[in-house]
Structure 1
Amino acid sequence: MPLILLSIAPALLIIIYIYYSDKYDKEPRHLLFICFLLGAIGSILISSVSHLVISQYFPGLEEKEIWIQLFKAFIVVALIEEFSKYIFVRYFAQRHKEFDEPYDGIMYAVMVSMGFAVTENLAYSFQGGIEIALYRAFTAVPAHATFGIIMGYYMGKAKFSRKRIKFNLIGLGLAIFFHGIYDFFLFINYIPGISIGAFVSLAVGILLSQKAIRIHQRNSHFRPK
């Protein structure tokens, strides 16, 4: 039970924060729950199957060469995981009539991301115990949230722009970039002190996420004039 709580609680706190940051037109809770489930089940299944397929063609991904770890971080992990989240935000949430202001991109992308993070957390925590659950509560879960916020910021812009494809792809690309940078520094932790780069990238992601939230709050279609 403690492992389950530690795996779920960080994501729940982030969801509550993002939900109440939606000041002017909160989203229906049943839609948010559906997006959470899509992340927890759909995104995980897509990324897990993709990882298995790629590992068959690239069996040397555990080797310590920098270029291999770069490929693993950006392609095998970041691209697959962020795209598996993106497709549900793009083809389910963004098309819904309730997606009616820019902030909704952040809200729905975070729900999918936190669903993904909870399932991933449970898997890692049951393997590694309470220490891993605590570590991920302050690293991996906030990281997934920042990737979701950055992606969702641009997907919120895309919904109300004539350049929908452009902004959607920018959101996906930046989520992949920040995810890849974060993982790359962790994957090459055999170089002393290099993992600090992951925490620097996470800090930058958090700052950008806060800025993205404030911008979409100001741009809400429901903000009193």
Structure 2
Amino acid sequence: MSVFSVLAAAIAPGVALLAYFYLKDRYDTEPVHLVMKVFFFGVLLVFPVMVLQRAFVHGLGDNPFVFSFIISAGVEEFLKWFLIYFVIYKHTSFDEPYDGIVYAVAGSLGFATLENVFYALLNSASISSLLFRALLPVSGHAMFGVIMGYHLGKAKFNPGLTRRHLALSLMLPIFWHGVFDYVLATTKTYWIWFMIPLMAFLWVRSLRKVNRANATSPLRVVRSEEQVKI
């Protein structure tokens, strides 16, 4: 395959998933330039993550549990959470619960996309291997982003539960990301029997959170009133 074909195949899954979740916003779609800004920041996160993970591997070793839950999931999800919280959480465009999902997914998929590009270029990846990565690592990052964004939305629009949901917005993505990595690290020959149910569960769970976030949008009431007036 040509370099262009490899790059297109590596980038396409992240862009497609971002478009899918962006268009799931029923009431007030976010500014495209802001979503792409967060996506680009997610791309840039790959570099500090690589440095930090290398340092942690030297310090903590490569025990599968430690690597999966701390070095991989812990570092990646914390930096993604840090990005969304300090760049977007207090932004005026974050004006309904579902927006948390849009921006967290954008940051996660920016990260996953560059990670996928590096994998494709460094491993001379085939279309089949890139399809595998689209269905697992890239899709997985999107699911972790949905979980993070859902709880960030709950934190912002439920003042009495802010601390609880801020904690969940970080800890749950780390947990599920860690489970994902641990399965791949410890089940070399029969991983598919664990991974397919796990991914199905994460997709079903994420789509439910998408519907719940949309259902609690304050703009839903406004749109309903406008339709009644018309």
TM-score normalised by length of structure 2: 0.90
What's the counterpart of residue 201 of structure 1?
A: 198
CA–CA separation in structure 1 for the residues paired with 2:195 and 2:85: 28
What's the counterpart of residue 175 of structure 1?
A: 173
1:121 aligns with 2:123: no
CA–CA separation in structure 2 for the residues paired with 1:5 and 1:86: 27
Q: How far has the Cα of 1:217 moved from its partner?
A: 1.1
Report if aligned partners of 1:183, 1:198 keep a CA contact under 8 Å in 2.
no
CA–CA separation in structure 1 for the residues paired with 2:168 and 2:193: 26
In angstroms, what is the RMSD of aligned CA positions?
A: 1.3
Report if aligned partners of 1:151, 1:174 keep a CA contact under 8 Å in 2.
yes
Which of 3, 6, 17 is matched with 2:6 structurally? 3
Residues 159-185 of structure 1: per-residue CA shift (max 9 Å, x gap): 112232220110211101111111101
1:188 aligns with 2:186: yes
What letter is aligned with 1:54?
F
CA–CA separation in structure 1 for the residues paired with 2:52 and 2:129: 24
Report if aligned partners of 1:36, 1:111 keep a CA contact under 8 Å in 2.
yes
Which of 138, 142, 146 is matched with 1:141 structurally? 138
CA–CA separation in structure 1 for the residues paired with 2:209 and 2:13: 21
Report if aligned partners of 1:114, 1:145 keep a CA contact under 8 Å in 2.
yes
What letter is aligned with 2:25?
D
Report if aligned partners of 1:106, 1:151 keep a CA contact under 8 Å in 2.
yes
Which of 40, 45, 50 is matched with 2:43 structurally? 40
Report if aligned partners of 2:40, 2:110 keep a CA contact under 8 Å in 1.
yes
Q: Which has the higher helix share?
A: 2
Which of 211, 216, 220 is matched with 1:214 structurally? 211
CA–CA separation in structure 1 for the residues paired with 2:142 and 2:103: 11
Q: Aligned ranges for residues 24-39 of structure 1 at < 5 Å?
A: 24-39=27-42
Report if aligned partners of 2:57, 2:67 keep a CA contact under 8 Å in 1.
no
Report if aligned partners of 2:53, 2:71 keep a CA contact under 8 Å in 1.
yes
What's the counterpart of residue 165 of structure 1?
A: 163
CA–CA separation in structure 2 for the residues paired with 1:194 and 1:17: 28
Residues 126-167 of structure 1: per-residue CA shift (max 9 Å, x gap): 122124322101111111100000110000111112232220
CA–CA separation in structure 1 for the residues paired with 2:14 and 2:209: 19
TM-score normalised by length of structure 1: 0.92
Equivalenced residues, count: 216
1:71 aligns with 2:48: no
Q: Please list every run of 5 or more consecutive structure 1 residues that lacks an aligned counterpart in the other structure.
A: 62-67
Identity percentage of aligned residues: 32
Q: Which runs of 4+ in 1 moved over 3 A?
A: none
What letter is aligned with 2:151?
Y
